[in-house]
Amino acid sequence: MPMPRWWGQINKRVFNPRAIAGGKWPVLIHVGRVSGATYRTPLDAYPVPGGYLFVLVYGSRSDWARNILAAGQARLRIGGREVELAAPRIVGRDEAFEAMPATAARPPRPLRITEFLRMDEVTG
């Protein structure tokens, strides 16, 4: 089972603003599916062939994941640049671990994370 949703609400209001202000975390920029507002979510972003992979710590029902799946696109601010991303899809643990770099830290087993979000980098 992923992390409890109440912890995600605390993260959203307390820790995420600090992480964004610190400028050291990759930030996923996405549009709210209901509000239309622009949101910024700091996340670990793993480069994979053709795009990026994100760990769904709170599962695919988290607000940010649902927003991106509904919009079909997002931007990622990473390493001083912005990358356009499209074609979001939920992938399982096996596919995610196969795509992740060997040096990337895997989510701890006790968290029982089984869903990941994969997106393709838009080129051209």
* Per-residue confidence (pLDDT) for residue 111, from 0 to 100: 76
Which tops the pLDDT comparison, 23 or 37? 37
Burial class (CB in 10 A: 0-12, 13-18, 19+), 18: exposed
Q: Which two tokens stand for residue 119?
A: 């997106």
pLDDT band of residue 23 (cuts 50, 70, 90) is: low
Domain spans of the chain, in order of start: 5-121
5-121 classified as CATH 2.30.110.10: yes
Q: Is the pLDDT of residue 9 over 80?
A: no
* Per-residue confidence (pLDDT) for residue 54, from 0 to 100: 94
70-92 residue pLDDT tens = 999 999 999 889 999 999 999 99
Question: Which single residue is written with the structure tokens 């991303």?
Answer: 85
Q: Is the pLDDT of residue 5 over 90?
A: no
pTM over 0.85: no
- CB 88 within 8 Å of CB 72: yes
* Per-residue confidence (pLDDT) for residue 10, from 0 to 100: 60
